[in-house]
Chain A
């Protein structure tokens, strides 16, 4: 039988998406449904003196209006930060209260103040305009870098400082720096991004007064965790009376991992009004209130020997958390960032210090890559600068410092199981025609253009994650994954996974795994996810974990199915179990022509007839049915790595940067479906290029979001890209039996430094992201001026 794993199987889910038949939360309409509109703060920072709903309540079509007081009266808890970080001085992180509807203060533009529920959306909107909130406006803290020197937003959080965290060894690092021949320094800003999932967030709450159960349909990457958090911390309903369904979800990129205030309020309100309540974000609300990503200010130093050996690294970062600490906000700039600052280099001594600050901006949380893009941007910009200052070749300086032996225990946290970094570097150099660069550069120069080449040899840690490791680092949960593989009596298979697909293609890849493993055709495998009432408890999709962790759980459940199948086949075929072999969907007795298909075995397991001559096919001790569950907790993270090379051509007169060539050679371990992986690389690189050249969340000094629509927030578009040249190398992961490392975030991690190193190479001066046309124009003009002065 031809193997499904490894081939370009077309995505099972695409037909419905391409023909407009996806069923998203907004597509679900329940009988007697009402519509919710949130009253949001127009101010970045203000005290709430009074919320007057009296006029709005009299407006036509109003079903109910709730404020923070109503939530408090019902003892509904606030939103939580799920990962405890301890400061260098041993004190715990400081987290402000975060009520789902604000009671005392609002802390960013878009913060939730009240919810208006109407018979129609128009009724709710109309009444929402009539809710009068009396604010005392306060001076907003907006800037990341100066947040610690600004007035404290919360009186019990001095200097707006959540924590001051250290990873690594300061003394050992100092020694390394003392021994160095040269210190390379860099100052970087990792620009704030807005996730912009194609489907805006949406929630639909439904209360069944007969079973007293709440159902929440929500655009979410992680329905089980959402149920757990809203049950355990917000106390909206106990878990067994609470069902969370994340149906088709149109992209998340991290922004839909966690429950939001709207989810809590909508689930609770549905019970209050005893009618379904639906809320669908408008695009402006998405810009204002989806959690943003990145927003770091970093100073870093690299200690090198004159032969190009790196001996030490110091990293000092200020990370902006926004107005509150969102669910994974505290771990993103620490354990997802700090360990990765070493890149894929052998750097014996290092430390990473992160000060996380509150500001009056939208909360910042995990966004495609979460911490790893920030780390990679820092180390790859720094490595390029070092090569430049040492006068060494970009590729060879990197190669000299690559980790060469595996497993490799890094100076900070990670033990890297496998890799071959020379292999992807070599392949990328060839595909990118590095040798021809000088010619291309002079060709550009003859047209008055500048050409630059940029490298990014990256590593990331994904397949999140070994529970033991993450819990010892402060995680409030373990990060295993679950699967249930259920043979139906007629021989087709339903697979339940705790992972959640919101564009990734799980329905296809998981079916490929099951199809190969159990020898059933792809169309006879259905993958089910996203409903807490269906599969076992799961941990959702983020951190490029679904295949490495979730896929492995499925693989293990299939193993159990096969093991039971062998026992049953042995009994039915009157052979000894050790003589039964399973291959291509058939149980075959060795050295005989006796066999049973897995379909026949499944049928027999469900209908163990015992009449007349027919004996039960079930061995003693085996129960009827053919369904197995497995939970998989990996032994380690997985470590994809690769080389991305970017070439840009810049018009110094306009500042326009043309992305001319882009090469990505990635080592994702074993690849299950190259077509799906390509899609992930394309999307990831596009997002990374977006960060480097276009995207930026811009708040003015009063905390108003200036880029709150697509008229001003620049998304990358297809016509911004050349054809991406994509290839792979492979060293299988040793931490899971599939050998998979994960590919979902790599592009967004690798691309920003590749692009920015190319821009810097072209114009010869440092520049911050995004490298907009005006910034590049100005840098070119300034360097021309200083050159002519020097001459």
Chain B
């Protein structure tokens, strides 16, 4: 690990002011610290945002659930309000990594990092989430722009994520047996005005499967999935799963999700 300067920001303003092209925010550190230790990343400044009160907490209103950026996965998993409003979101958080990761990793860090195999991005897409930053609101569909890429600007800080409460929903994942990241994760949500099938793990970036979403909005049933061919084109191949296997898993886990809704 290369030397860096550590800062602890007291509010969003200070955090963004301290940031530069050679800095990173430190939330749970579950991605940043291992990549620094392995020499895959190095920064001049590390800006700790864990002390910014405004970024933590869970709020449930009639229509939506808003989760502060530095809220830990374990807090989401154990939140009574979330379990009641969007149980699938609590389930998703409960299935992230292992207890150590869940007790440190944060929702803001997870979506800012946009790992192609991360779980939360699929929830954002499926549940028509809005990402609140220190300067604007971004719709989830306009937020995740590519592998490890988002439309966040330099120094822009995520403050909270607002999810719309669906009629019913379920997240089902085929975990990587080693890391427990998603080999394929399928989030199915039947919302007031639409049905979304969001898929993570399968391609270089989370996406909404338009064909499955369309088919399910006509007929929200397992058999509707059978009528859709999930193409393996553009899907990842690695030692844990080939593109063909991933394509098959997308259909299988979409069915599991519908059954669990």
Contact = CB atoms under 8 A, between A and B. Distances in A.
Interface of A: 122, 284, 653-656, 694, 698, 706-707, 710-715, 772-774, 777-778
Interface in B167-194: 174, 176-179, 181
Nearest to B3: A122
Given A654-B252, A655-B245, A712-B239, 18 more contacts: A122-B3, A284-B38, A653-B248, A653-B252, A656-B174, A694-B177, A694-B178, A706-B239, A707-B239, A711-B178, A712-B179, A712-B240, A713-B178, A714-B177, A715-B178, A774-B240, A774-B245, A778-B245
Contacts of A711: 176, 178-179, 181
A737 B178 CA distance: 45
A772 B252 contact: no
B241 interface: yes
A713 B1 CA distance: 23
B242 interface: yes
* Interface core residue of B174, B176, B178, B248 (most chain A CB under 10 Å): B178
Contacts of A122: 1, 3
Q: Give the dominant DSSP class at B's interface.
A: loop
B20 to A, nearest CB: 23
Contact of B177 (A284, A706, A773, A778): A773
Contacts of B252: 653-654
A595 to B, nearest CB: 58
6 tightest Cβ-Cβ pairs between the two chains A and B: A714-B178, A714-B177, A711-B179, A653-B252, A774-B245, A712-B178
Contacts of A713: 178
24 contacts: A122-B1, A122-B3, A653-B248, A653-B252, A698-B239, A706-B239, A707-B178, A710-B178, A710-B179, A711-B178, A711-B179, A711-B181, A712-B178, A712-B179, A712-B240, A713-B178, A714-B177, A714-B178, A715-B178, A772-B177, A772-B240, A774-B241, A774-B245, A777-B248
Nearest to A770: B177
B86 interface: no
Given A284-B38, A774-B240, A654 B177 contact: no
A778 B247 CA distance: 13
A603 B1 CA distance: 59
Interface string B133-176: 00000000000000000000000000000000000000000101
A774 B38 contact: no
B249 interface: yes
A284 B39 CA distance: 12
A778 to B, nearest CB: 7
B38 A777 contact: no
A694 B179 CA distance: 12
Contacts of A706: 239
Interface residues of B, number: 18
Interface of B: 1, 3, 38, 174, 176-179, 181, 239-242, 245, 248-249, 252-253
B242 A774 contact: yes
Contacts of A714: 177-178
A288 to B, nearest CB: 13
B129 to A, nearest CB: 27
A778 B241 CA distance: 11
* Interface core residue of A711, A713, A774, A778 (most chain B CB under 10 Å): A774
Nearest to A129: B39
A715 B174 CA distance: 17
A651 to B, nearest CB: 9
A655 B177 CA distance: 12
A787 B242 CA distance: 24
A654 B240 CA distance: 13
A778 B248 CA distance: 11
B105 to A, nearest CB: 14
A562 B76 CA distance: 65
Contacts of A698: 239
Contacts of A772: 177, 240
A601 B242 CA distance: 73
B249 A654 contact: yes
B116 to A, nearest CB: 13
Contact of A654 (B174, B239, B242): B174
A712 B183 CA distance: 12
B245 A777 contact: yes
Contacts of A778: 245
A656 B239 CA distance: 16
Contacts of B240: 712, 772, 774
A435 to B, nearest CB: 33
Nearest to B241: A774
A262 B167 CA distance: 61
* Interface core residue of A122, A711, A715, A778 (most chain B CB under 10 Å): A711
Nearest to A778: B245
A419 B125 CA distance: 63
A705 to B, nearest CB: 11
A777 B252 CA distance: 12
A707 B181 CA distance: 15
A219 to B, nearest CB: 21
A694 B176 CA distance: 11
Contacts of A715: 178
A287 to B, nearest CB: 12
A706 B242 CA distance: 15
Contacts of B239: 698, 706-707, 712
Contacts of B242: 774
A714 B176 CA distance: 9
A144 B239 CA distance: 19
Contacts of A710: 178-179
Contacts of B38: 284
B223 to A, nearest CB: 15
* Interface core residue of B1, B174, B245, B249 (most chain A CB under 10 Å): B245
Contacts of A654: 174, 249, 252-253
A485 B240 CA distance: 53
Nearest to A713: B178
A778 B178 CA distance: 20
Contacts of A707: 178, 239
